[in-house]
Amino acid sequence: MNRITEHDRSIIRKLIEKKAEYAADTHNAQRVKLWTKVNDLEKCRPVVWVNEEPWTELAQKHVGELTAQCDDSFLRSFEVGLKRELFRWRNYRADMVIENILLVPRSIDYGKLGMVTKERVIGNVNSDVESHEFERIINTLNDVELMEIPAVSEDAAESSRRFDIIREISRDLMPVELQGVSHQWFILWDMLIRWFGVEQAMLDLVMNPELIHAALDKLQKGWLTRLDQFEDKKLLSSNVTNQRVGSGGYAYTKSLPLRTDKPVTSKDQWGCGNAQIFTSVSPEMHDEFSLKYEMEWLKRFGLVYYGCCERLDIKMHLLKEIPNLRKVSCSVWADKEVMADACRGKYVVSLKPNPASLAEDTWRPEEVRKEIGTDMKKLEGCNIEIILKDISTCRGDVSRISRWVDIASELAGKNQ
C-alpha cells in the first residue's frame, strides 16, 4: 500500500467521523422504509430528493466545506464525494439517507467504443453546465464499422490499494466495502448525437435510416457485450441502496436483493434507459429507433427506470411493454394528468419540477409552491418521488435550494 500522509489521513478521518455521526441519525432508517414503500407501490406520501447541484459554483462560496485538500489523487476524489454528501445533509437533506458504510469504487476500465468525439465546448469555465458543438464523424456504413466492442478489465491491485487505504483510515468508525458497477445507463442516443451531431441525427432518422440502424445495432452489441463481461468477471454490485437509479431517486425496494454472498447479476439490479433527445420524435419513431434496441438491454434487469428530460406522456402505451418497468420520469413538459392515468397503481412517477426557479434574478418561492402543488394535485393517487435536478445555477445562494426543499417537503406532507 502506498504511504498516505498524515495530512490526507486526518482530512479523510474527520470526514468519516462526521458521516458516522449523521448515519447514526434514526431518521435514516425511517426514510429507507419510506423510499421502499414508494418504490414498491405501497400507499405513502411522496419523497423529496436533490441531485445534480452546481458544485463548482457552490464551492466558490463554501471553499472549506467543498474544496478538495488531499494530495493523493484517489483520496481527493473520495474526499469530494464525502464533502458533497455531508453538505447535502447539512443544507437540504429532504428525504436523504446516509448509510453506515463506506463504498470504495473498484478500479474498472469499461473499455473503449473506438470512436473519438470531436467537439467544441461552449460555456462558462466556472460552471458545471456546458454546451457542446459536435463535429460529425459517422457519415457512411464504413464509419460504423470503426466502432469497437469494448473490452472490460479491472486493475485488481489498485482496487485492493483503495480498499486498504480507506479501511486503515476508517478503522473502527465505519465498515468498508468495495463497490463494482452498479448504476448503468443505456444511453444509445446520448452517444450517437456526439458522433452524428444533433440536427443531422434527427434528419437521418428520415433521410438515412439505414445508417442510423447500423450504428444502433453496433452500439447495442457493444453495450450488451460489456454487460456480459461485467457479469462474467463478477464486477457488478447491488444498486438497491442510497444511490440514484436512472435520473431519479433512491433504489430501495423489497423486490430485489440488497446484498448477497452470491455474485450480483443484472437481474439483481435496477436497469435504466432513455432517449432524451427524442422529445419531439413521434411515438412510432421512438419505438423503431430507440425502444427496439433498449428492450434487449432492459429485459435483463430485475426492475427498470425509464426516461430523463424527454416528454413521455404520449409514449406510455409503448413503455408499458418494457418488462419489469417500475419508475418513469415525468419531465417539466409532460402532461401530468395523462401521466397519472397511465402510472397510477402501476409505476412510480419520478416528478421533475423546473429548476429554472433557482436561476432567476429574484427568488420567487410562491411560484415553486404553485408549480409543485399543481403537479401533485394532478398526480393524486400515484406513488411519487419529487426530484430536483439539473440545477445549472442557484446564483451562489444555497438557501434557495434549502427553501425549495422546505416547500416541496411541506407539500409532500413530510410533517403530517
pLDDT in tens, 126-157: 667 778 888 999 999 999 999 999 999 999 99
Q: For residue 288, give Cα distances in angstroms to 40, 208, 212, 299.
A: 30, 14, 11, 17
What pLDDT band is residue 123 in, cutting at 50, 70 and 90? low
Kindly report the backbone phi and psi dihedral angles of residue 363, in degrees, each rounded to the nearest multiple of 5, phi listed first. Answer: -75, 125
The average pLDDT across 217-226 equals 97
Position of cell 412510480? 348
> Quick one: pLDDT at residue 122?
78
More confident residue, 49 or 415: 49
For position 127, what pLDDT does the model report? 65
Average of pLDDT values for 324-332?
97
Give the rounded percent of residues in the chain with a pLDDT score beyond 90.
91
- Please name which of 410, 414, 353 lies closest in space to residue 379, comparing C-alpha atoms: 353
pLDDT at residue 258, as a whole number: 82
CATH architecture, range 26-102+180-411: Alpha-Beta Barrel (3.20)
- Residue 130 has a pLDDT of 74
**Is the separation of the CB atoms in 101 and 16 below 8 Å?**
no
Annotated domain spans of the chain: 26-102+180-411
Retrieve residue 256's grid coordinates: 430485489
Is the pLDDT assigned to residue 415 strictly greater than 60?
no
Coil vs helix vs strand at 359: coil
pLDDT of residue 1: 52
Q: Is the dihedral of CA 318, 323, 327, 329 positive or negative?
A: negative
Q: What is the mean pLDDT of residues 264-286?
A: 96
Q: Report whether 201 contacts 120 (CB < 8 A).
A: no
Residue 261's pLDDT is what?
A: 75
Mean per-residue pLDDT, 93-106: 97
pLDDT band at 2 (very low <50, low <70, confident <90, very high): low
Mean pLDDT, all residues of the chain: 95
Q: What is the pLDDT of residues 282-293, one digit of tens each?
A: 999 999 999 999
CA atoms of 111 and 331, how far apart (whole Å):
32
Half-sphere exposure at residue 198, Cβ-oriented, CA atoms within 13 angstroms: 12
Can you tell me the mean pLDDT for 58-84?
Answer: 96
Is the overall model pTM greater than 0.85, yes or no?
yes
pLDDT of residue 40: 98
Q: Identify the DSSP state of 2.
A: P
Element (H, E) at 339: helix 336-343
- Dist. CA 152–CA 353, nearest whole Å: 37
Does residue 25 have a pLDDT over 80?
A: yes
- Asked if residues 62 and 402 have their Cβ atoms less than 8 Å apart, the reply is no
- pLDDT above 70 covers a percentage of the chain that reads 97
Q: What SS3 class is residue 179?
A: strand
Would the pLDDT of 121 be above 90? no
C-alpha cell at 291: 425502444
Rg (C-alpha) for the chain, rounded Å, is: 22
Residues 397, 384, 95, 256, CA torsion sign: negative
Residue 336: band (very low, low, confident or very high) from pLDDT cuts 50, 70, 90: very high
260 has pLDDT over 90: no
